[in-house]
Structure 1
Amino acid sequence: MTYDENEARTDRMMDKLQDLGLSFDPKTNSVTAAEGVDVNNLPNSIALNGAADGQGRWYGMEEFESEIVECDDLVARTGSNPKKPFQESYDARKKLEQMRVEIETKRCLAMVEGGKGEEGKKLIKVAQAQVGRLEYRLGKIALDCEEGSVKCLEHIVHGCFSNMFGSEAFSRVADMGEGDQKGKGGKKLSELIGYSEGEGEGAGCSAPVEEKVEALNTAAIAYANKEKLDLSLELLEVAELLYTNVGSEKRGGPRLESLHTSTLFFFAQVYGLVQNPRMSCLYCARTTHRQLTQSVKMEGGELNVDETSLDVEDWVKNVMTLAKYYHNNGENRQAEHCLAACGAICGLFTNAAKGFGAEGGKGAFEGMTARSMEAVSGKVEREKGEVYLGVLNSCSEAMLYKQAGVERGGGAGEAGKGGALVVDYGEVLGGLSSERSFMEFAGGELEKKVEEFVSANDDKGLYELGKSVFLAANGCIDRATKFFELDGFVTDHIELCLLKANAYKILSLFESEEKRKQAMNLKRVQCIEGLMDKGINETAYAGLIKTLVHEIGSGYMDMFDLKSERVEGKTKRNPTYVIKRAEAAKLNELCLQAVYWFSYFLKLYVPTDSMPKDFELMKGEVDDEAADAVLAKIYFVDVDETLGYLAAHFKIARLLSKVMQDFAGEDLGKENVIKALKRSLSRFDFIIRCVAAMDKKGEYGDCIKGFQQQLEICEQMKELLPQKIDRVFHLNAQFLGAA
């Protein structure tokens, strides 16, 4: 084209632009639009600027596809050079930007020249769709190269959406993205975007549905990162509708199926951010079910896994999170089903990993060893144990209400609620061969146990049902403990031992015979007492040691109370009954063991040398043989632990008030009883002074309110104990105590 021809064409274009309400300044190389002009249906400024001095070009369908495949391959190789981790993406972006300028320039010239008939209009429409597909890739590159949500959305929304989904959809997204009130009313995005099968197809005008879904997913992530969560959910809703409305014969492609799984996963994340746990849980369940369906198959007796679709450890972690949610919500059938699926997967992959060396397997099994799968299995068994233990606890509560003749909403029935499964992992796992059949322990057995429990009336039946749930919990805890050994897994091992102790504690509630109750409580203590001889660092594991020591003390106290009730029962039935020396000695042994461990608990709150003057009243020298007269100072106890701290003092005081005369020694044990009663009195007095000082400080309102009942008993015992001490001294009487 000659200079004169080019100048004439430029003049014609200027006139056309002016007719469209646009003005072009060649000096600044910029385009501006007059007020009221809808720029969404016009070429962007990049193309108009290029159109002033360039010709641009059309891309045929095959050539365009070939070029973008080349760009996609470049992006896929990103990261191959550690020194320039994003170089391939940058090269792809440069090529995509050049294609966009060429297409937009040609499109601009065609628009200002009138489109040259139907063929020209069709080419313009094809170019618009092509630009949308280019912008979608540029947006993905911006996000992958960690250039932030703003740059990503600049391409995805302003470039891709305006060309791929139309001006109305673009306007709504842009308005909502900027927080404009115009975006909050009117039609939803799903009503503005065509998602029916076949819509927009023909002549290469429409982007593939995979690209539309991924563009929507990418925009949803970017807007979620900007805390535009309502918009993010609308975008994901459209992505889901696009997939749903694709004909079934067109589904099944690995890319579209993978993208839809991503849509469901993003739904779960965003619903979590908007504090809607039920919907987050639903989409998480659907996501994990699809991952399983798409990834795991048995072919020729061998496990076949799609290495691109399933991260085993991540999958198990997500399904265990689901199980926790269901369990906390009382939907234990759902929880049991999820954990059974985790167990089945762990069994399959553990078997597969046995043949791997220290370096692990390859593909989907990369880095996976038999040991790493044992760790995952251990976590699953622990979660299963906690679910069974939760059900056991719910059943015990329901039993206590039933025995008291009190109506209770929910109860054990609530613990087993759940109805139809949200997703059925058995559709996949039921057909897989494994050491332990999935359906064997995922068929709602727990729910059946709970239903039987609700209908049971006799004590023996209740105990047998409780025992069956206990055995399930205990088995899971034992299997988890085999992996989480104390050497290397201190926290996990202690927590598992505490779980086992708690299982025995709850089981004892189902037992009506005192001796068997005692045996269960003894087992409870034995589960954890031995840990205190293992040299666990009390500073590094302070919180766990406190829990451990307190639980040991509680176990001995419960055994003491059970035996005391038995002796008191004999005395009530026969007022002339004389307590045997062996009985008194055993009671004192249990009592002083409990005192020792609660004193140990208090000793863990180590005071320092300095203490503010206004806490002088909190000094209380407590006579304690085991703790060697430790100075107790509430000031050094965290506010949220103060109630437990005071309660431990109260338990010690109460136990000491119940020490019995055992008829040993020259004075027949009278001196030991008096000494214990004096220590008890001192402790009750100390508690009263502590609470008074706390009340004066004004920071412990909730604690004092929660301790009110015990405080009243302390004040009563302060009045009664001197009289009791006097009676023991003068009358040589034996007492079980009044507190």
Structure 2
Amino acid sequence: MASVNSDEWRAVCHKFTNAQNLTLVESRNDPENEPFRSKYKARELLAEIYCALKSFEAGEEESGADSGGRPPTEPPVDGQREAGFGPGFGGDSPAGLRAARLGAIEYYLGVNHVDTEELSAGQEHLMNCIKLLERCSVSSENVSLFIHARNQLGILWAGRNETETSQGFLETAESNYQRYMKEDGSPPTDMTEYFTTEENLLTHQERTKRFELAYTHTMYYLAQVYKNLGETERAATYCHSTLQRQLQLNQFSPMEWALNAATLSQYYITKGLYMEGRHCLSAATVVSDLAGEAPSEAAAQESEAESERREQLRQKRAEIARCWIKYCLNLLQDSKKLLEDSIGELDTDRQEAMKMARRREEDEEEKGRKSALLFGSEDTFDSIASLEEKVCCSLPLDFTEARAVFLVGQNYVTQAKEYFEMDGYVTDHVEILQDHSALFRSLAFYEEDLERRCKMHKRRVDMLEPICNDLNAQYYLMIRRQMMFELAEIYNEMMDLKLTLANRQADSETLDSHTIKKFNHLCSASAKYFQMFLDSLCSPEGKIPEHLEEEVLRPALVARFRVARLYSRLISSSPSAQLENLDKSLEHYTYVVQYCEAHPEAVAAVETELELSKEMVGLLPLKINRLKAKMAANN
């Protein structure tokens, strides 16, 4: 090999530097009609370097240098032709260094071809790199190249949806890193240093940073692979470690990092790991602030770049706010599931037992979990911890605790709606409103005062009803169906609450006219929205579908059942109106029974409702006949 101080070697290093500059800097300015112009030029320089390396190697073989004691004319043993060394040599031998340099150029050529969308050629060069390195043991001279090459092959195969092949390359990169750190651990040679003069070699600190960053990429790609393989827990672990390492190495884009942390929180939330979810969201909020303030609207109008930056910052912060909403909502809903009795009311005995259990619990396990998940440096720890203190991570067990969670969620609803406005983001805006409604619904569960609980449900009506009525049925059919069904259920809930209140306050079993009027209004409103939902399933001519699609099967049959129940509960002093309501009730109960008889596969979706419908189909005709007889007798 030419001396590292020779003119020939300096020429090689100069070409390599130019190739890197063309790839990393000049390529950003390539014209649209020649998007790969700089990378093609870089490829030419890399090919020239490869030829020069082979030429140096041939010259050394002719002179007999570094032949391992063999005469120059003796043929190499198996496995030595390409690299000039046998499998027993360490990577830090001169022959190992030659192989690493050739492998590095193969690597850069491979990446170059992948970047220019020539995947097969890219794969070939990357595999050539792997084959060169397989003949030497992992050492400080080549371990970084080992990992980079396998990372690139992992990405390439993942792009082809060959997830298991990708997994193999990435897991080998991971084991190479772990083995090297266990057996050596010194800052390894960076690939760029193969083509650097002595005075330009990296410091140990920079070598370490680049090596750790390569391994961080390995972990990031493995997180994606495990996610695609359905190994969600493993994927979350690798994602969390990736985020930790990015902060430690100070190699991250604040908003991208924050959004990834917020997304990871959603996994933890679905597993009931609220401490982990809260930490991710708190870290996401703190790190997003590192991106700075969004440019003012005036500044954004003056500059296209500022306008784009403003839009991105506002959108990503709104998305983080939505993740906080989900955190608060899920925390309330999980608590409700544990505390409710068989009829959906608060089980006070269970509530007290859970409070006692929480007081008895030791916090050692929590401390261990917390130390394993911490993000950030000393500068950000306090900011993250301060934000965490503003919302609990244990399940709320009474109204006071639930209200604290609700208020945090409602604050983030306001933040999210500032960006996701109705004008331009209809679907997102409606989903945020639905989450806000769900927050009220969850809080109402803990409210003992039925009048205040009813007002909470009225807030839900006020936020959903205008939107539902204004949405274009043609473009937002599914969203309108969701809202119609929810509004029907809200009115139904309010109706039951009003009746319970009236029965508690009344001195006799007779309800006053005002209460009856209010009760009937709520009952009719609920039936109206259930009917609107059912009408949305009909053909343009108004024909009821003979077969209900799976996604609407249960909602449609439940809506029928609820409408039947609502008509039977309407209070009327007029026998003819009462008879009309009972007839409509029987009609809907009969539909549920007959549909399930004609479609046996539907039975499993509505077992309880079907059983009650059959019972009412048997009882209602008797009630209707008695009423008819009474009407006839009165006439």
TM class, shorter-length:
0.7 to 0.9
Map 1:494-643 to 2 at 5 A. 494-533=430-469, 535-567=470-502, 577-608=509-540, 631-635=543-547, 637-643=548-554
Distance 2:19 2:455 in 1: 72
Q: Distance in 2 between matches of 1:277 and 1:361?
A: 42
Q: Residue type matched to 1:712 in 2?
A: E
Residue of structure 2 aligned with 1:218, choices 149, 152, 157: 152
Q: Distance in 2 between matches of 1:288 and 1:360?
A: 35
- Secondary structure of the residue aligned to 1:441 is helix
Provide the rounded CA distance (Å) in 2 between the counterparts of 1:215 and 1:409: 57
Q: 1:396 aligns with which of 332, 336, 340?
A: 336
Residue pair 1:139, 1:152 contacting (<8 A) in 2 also: yes
Matched, 1:152 2:88: no
Letter paired with 1:219:
L
Q: CA deviation at 1:558?
A: 0.8
Once residues 489 and 73 of structure 1 are traced to their aligned partners in structure 2, the CA distance between those partners, rounded to angstroms, is 42
Write the distance in 1 (CA, Å) between the matches of 2:605 and 2:352.
24
- How far is 1:210 from its partner? 4.6
CA positional deviation for 1:712: 2.0
Matching residue of 2:198:
none
Gaps of 5+ in 2: 73-83, 85-92, 188-202
Secondary structure of the residue that 1:641 maps to in structure 2?
helix
Please give the alpha-carbon distance, in whole angstroms, between the structure 1 residues aligned to 2:482 and 2:511: 35
SS in 2 for 1:578: coil
Aligned twin of 2:30 = 81
**Aligned CA distance change for structure 1 residues 512 and 471 (closer, same or farther; 3 Å):** same
Per-residue deviation, 1:285: 1.9
Aligned to 1:482, which of 393, 409, 418?
418
Q: CA deviation at 1:549?
A: 0.8
| Larger relative helix fraction | 2
Could you say which residue in structure 2 is the equivalent of 1:268? 223
Within-5 A mapping of 1:123-162: 126-148=97-119, 150-158=120-128, 160-162=129-131
**C-alpha distance after superposition, 1:239-295 (max 9, x if no partner):** 533578543782345644543432232222222233322222122223233334444
Q: Is the 8 A contact 1:139 1:155 kept in 2?
A: yes
Q: TM-score, normalised by structure 2?
A: 0.80
CA RMSD of aligned residues (A): 3.5
Question: Residues 689 and 265 from structure 1, CA distance in 2 versus in 1: closer, same or farther, beyond 3 angstroms?
Answer: same
Is the 8 Å Cα contact of residues 244 and 376 (structure 2) preserved in structure 1? no
AA aligned opposite 1:633? P
Alignment of 1:330-729 (within 5 A): 330-351=272-293, 353-354=295-296, 357-358=299-300, 368-400=308-340, 403=347, 419-420=369-370, 422-427=372-377, 430=380, 437-443=383-389, 445-447=391-393, 449-450=394-395, 453=396, 462-533=398-469, 535-567=470-502, 577-608=509-540, 631-635=543-547, 637-661=548-572, 668-695=573-600, 701=601, 703-729=602-628
1:597 partner SS = helix
Deviations 1:362-394 (A, max 9, x none): 9xx976544432222222112101110110111
1:536: Cα distance to partner? 1.5
1:578 to 1:222, Cα distance in 2 relative to 1, 3 A? closer
TM-score relative to the length of structure 1: 0.70
Contact 2:322–2:413 (Cα < 8 Å) also in 1:
yes
Give % identity.
Answer: 21
Contact 1:337 1:442 in 2 (8 A): yes
* CA distance 1:428–1:718, shift in 2 (3 Å): same
- Conserved in 2, the CA contact under 8 Å of 1:219 and 1:235? no
Deviates more, 1:423-432 or 1:705-714: 423-432
In structure 2, the CA distance between the partners of 1:658 and 1:126, relative to structure 1 (3 Å rule), is closer
1:235 CA drift (Å):
2.9
The structure, 1 or 2, with the larger RCO (C-alpha pairs under 8 Å, 6+ apart) is 2
Contact 2:154 2:167 in 1 (8 A): no
1:97 and 2:47 are equivalent in the alignment: yes
Deviation digits for residues 13-35 of structure 1 (CA, Å, limit 9, x no counterpart): xxxxxxxxxxxxxxxxxxxxxxx
SS in structure 2 of the partner of residue 78 of structure 1: helix
* TM superposition shift of 1:352: 5.8
Shift in alpha-carbon separation, 1:230–1:281, aligned structure 2, 3 A: same
- Answer yes or no: is 1:66 the counterpart of 2:14: yes
Q: Distance in 1 between matches of 2:95 and 2:63?
A: 12
Specify the alignment match of 1:305 in structure 2.
none
Q: Are the structure 2 counterparts of residues 407 and 370 from structure 1 closer, same or farther at C-alpha, using a change threshold of 3 Å?
A: closer
Contact 1:356 1:369 in 2 (8 A): no
Task: Read off the aligned partner of 1:78 and give its amino acid letter.
Answer: S
CA contact 2:417–2:429 (8 Å) conserved in 1: yes
Shift of 1:465: 1.4
Q: For the Cα contact (< 8 Å) 2:255–2:291, is it kept in 1?
A: no
SS in 1 for 2:340: helix
Q: Tell me, what secondary structure is at the counterpart of 1:275?
A: coil
Query: In terms of Rg, which structure is larger?
Result: 1
Closer, same or farther: CA 390–360 of 1 in aligned 2, 3 Å = farther
Distance in 2, Cα, partners of 1:410 & 1:270: 40
What CA distance in whole angstroms lies between the structure 1 residues aligned with 2:213 and 2:551?
A: 47
Instruction: Indicate conservation of the 8 Å contact 1:481/1:496, yes or no.
Output: yes
1:86 is displaced (CA, Å) by: 2.3
Matches of 1:237 and 1:526, distance apart in 2: 55
Instruction: Describe how 1:262-301 pairs up with structure 2 within 5 A.
Output: 262-295=217-250
Distance 2:391 2:569 in 1: 46
1:233 counterpart residue number: 170
| Cα distance change, pair 157–238 in 1 and its aligned pair in 2 (3 A) | farther
Deviation (angstroms), 1:570: 7.2
Describe the shift of the 1:129–1:390 C-alpha distance in structure 2 as closer, same or farther (beyond 3 A).
closer
State the SS of the aligned residue for 1:351: coil
In structure 2, how many angstroms separate the alpha carbons of the residues matched to 1:59 and 1:86? 34
Q: Distance in 1 between matches of 2:131 and 2:354?
A: 54
Contact in 1 for aligned 2:409/2:439 (Cα 8 Å):
yes
Q: Mean Cα displacement is larger for which, 385-394 or 462-471?
A: 462-471
Partner of 2:81: none
Q: Deviations over 1:34-93 (max 9, x none)?
A: xxxxxxxxxxxxxxxxxxxxxxx8464652433322332233323533233323333333
CA–CA distance in structure 1, aligned partners of residues 96 and 261 of structure 2:
46
Change (3 A) 1:123 1:230: closer
Offset of residue 642 of structure 1: 1.3
3-state SS of the aligned residue for 1:353? coil
**Distance change (3 Å), C-alpha of 1:271 and 1:650:** same
Instruction: Give the Cα separation in 2 of the matches to 1:377 and 1:214.
Output: 33
Could you tell me how far apart the structure 1 residues matched to 2:15 and 2:134 are?
A: 23
Of stretches 123-132 and 553-562 in structure 1, the one that deviates more from structure 2 is 123-132
- The whole-number CA distance in structure 2 between the counterparts of 1:194 and 1:563 is 76
CA contact (8 A) 2:294 2:314 kept: no
On the 8 A contact 1:528/1:552 being kept in 2, the answer is yes
Matched with 1:251 is 205
Show the counterpart of 1:323: 265
Q: In structure 2, give the amino acid aligned to 1:221.
A: I
